[in-house]
Amino acid sequence: MIRIVLIGSGNVASHLISAFAQQNLAKIIQVYTRNKEMSIDTIETVHDFSELKEADVYLIAVTDQAISDISNQIPFHGKLVVHTSGSVPLKALSTHNRRGVFYPLQTFSKNKSVTFKEIPICIEAENATDLDVLKTIAESISDHPYEISSEQRKALHVAAVFVCNFVNHLYRIGSDICNENNIPFKILEPLILETASKIATLSPEKAQTGPAKRKDTQTINAHLAFLTDKEQQDIYKLLTKSIIDHDQKL
Amino acid sequence: MIRIVLIGSGNVASHLISAFAQQNLAKIIQVYTRNKEMSIDTIETVHDFSELKEADVYLIAVTDQAISDISNQIPFHGKLVVHTSGSVPLKALSTHNRRGVFYPLQTFSKNKSVTFKEIPICIEAENATDLDVLKTIAESISDHPYEISSEQRKALHVAAVFVCNFVNHLYRIGSDICNENNIPFKILEPLILETASKIATLSPEKAQTGPAKRKDTQTINAHLAFLTDKEQQDIYKLLTKSIIDHDQKL
């Protein structure tokens, strides 16, 4: 059994605790958190780095900015220390220890459970043995481990911002437009789900529909006239232009 | 049984033919299509308006631009004639007949089947009797009929462009970034599906995550530096600004 010390108690840390609780190949033997009020059922919780136990892997699941500093505070040398961030390079970790990355590629919200088995876990290490350890841990909670370099992970994180954070913001605009016109936002749910599930069988290029795809300037102009919010207009214009430009490159 | 004549043979028309074939409350008794090569199994197909049969409802599923003209060519008076468009007002239909709208709110692609039962159908008519007929037809193929006015439908169509067409274009950008960095786009599928399914339980406002939400300027700048395509940069900047502005209004 691989023994893990988890550092952090935020969204990602909480979801990792639930995921690891469901199997026996790897076990979180201790959680470190700054938050002195916090304790976790059945797992020892500490608030001082001097109390950290010996373990096989130290998993740092904290904000990007704190990763480097925390990796320097781990009171061991030569251990495998990995972070869970999409945007921090492996090299940001202290050289006191063997370095790696264990990045679950998903959007985590408090109070919304996820099926961890389906989440891709991007792993990276400095040598083959450590990569094997991370692969074993990843496979203990997920069916989709991927070996991804720091450079690829950076690209992946940018792509994730487009397909998740920006997409959610477009849902927000859709929801605002519905609210302003006394339409239940729920009516758009099947469309949203179908648009997302389509890409499992059709490339986004083939799946594209709508006025911009058809270069239907009459509808485009009617939509722009309908929108009164300047920022919504700007987004409508820019994305419409981008869809048309993209098609012209084909 | 309600007898329907369907005019059109594109994406929406094809999906309607499949949907109506699965029940007995309403039946497509004839299909009109301009395309003389085209015939449909088990349904009479005609290519001339003079051959249109008497029916209870004429369902016009053609491009937005052709709706008005086609409604004028139907060789009957006082019949219920409805179109299936999200963006054309009821009043665009000829006054020779009773007018209505039957708009299935979904993205239809050739070669991708959909579960019609889950698709909201937005109906509109000029009197209560016609509205009842459209409601019966809608309920024969869908569990979600909604009474939506032309003005609301316009808003809904704009909202649909944001949450479907523009969202799909962001998937396309995500896919481009993956391809350029030798990452399988498949790795983003669980994230895309989770982002979409989240909104059934969390409002888009509450579901928002990512660098813009956290006002994490370090990551935002690193992403902008990573992007080399000017249009991708512009979209990243505008959507990031819009997320931040939106939060400041709360």
**Model pLDDT for residues A80-126, shown as the tens digit of each residue:** 999 999 989 999 999 999 999 999 998 887 777 788 899 999 999 99
Instruction: Please say if the pLDDT value at position A188 is more than 90.
Output: yes
- pLDDT for residue A2: 97
- Shortest distance between the Cα of A138 and any Cα of chain B, in A, equals 15
> How far does chain B reach from its first CA to its final CA, in angstroms?
52
Summarize the confidence of residues B176-200 as an average pLDDT: 95
Which chain B residues are Cβ-neighbours of A12 within 8 angstroms? Answer: none
Instruction: Please say if the pLDDT value at position B227 is more than 80.
Output: yes
| CA distance linking residue B208 with residue B204, whole number of Å | 6
Summarize the confidence of residues A212-235 as an average pLDDT: 95
Q: Look at A249 and A191; give whichever has higher pLDDT.
A: A191
* E strand intervals along chain B: 2-7, 26-32, 44-46, 57-60, 80-83, 98-104, 120-125, 144-147
Q: Inter-axis angle of helices A167-180 and B167-180, to 10 degrees?
A: 170
Q: Among residues 73-132 of chain A, which lie with CB inside 8 Å of chain B?
A: 87, 105-109, 111-112, 114, 118-120, 122
Q: Quote the DSSP letter at residue A187.
A: G
Residues with Cβ within 8 Å of B115's Cβ and at least 6 positions away in sequence, in order, are none
Nearest C-alpha in A relative to B166? A239
Instruction: Please say if the pLDDT value at position B159 is more than 90.
Output: yes
- pLDDT for residue A115: 86
Q: Answer yes or no: is the ipTM higher than 0.95.
A: no
Could you say which of A160, A207, A234 has the minimum Cβ distance to residue B109? Answer: A207
Asked if the Cβ–Cβ distance from A155 to B181 is below 8 Å, we say yes
Instruction: Please say if the pLDDT value at position B111 is more than 80.
Output: no
- pLDDT for residue A181: 96
- pLDDT for residue B208: 93
Asked if the Cβ–Cβ distance from B218 to A64 is below 8 Å, we say yes
| CA distance linking residue A137 with residue A135, whole number of Å | 5
Nearest C-alpha in B relative to A176? B159
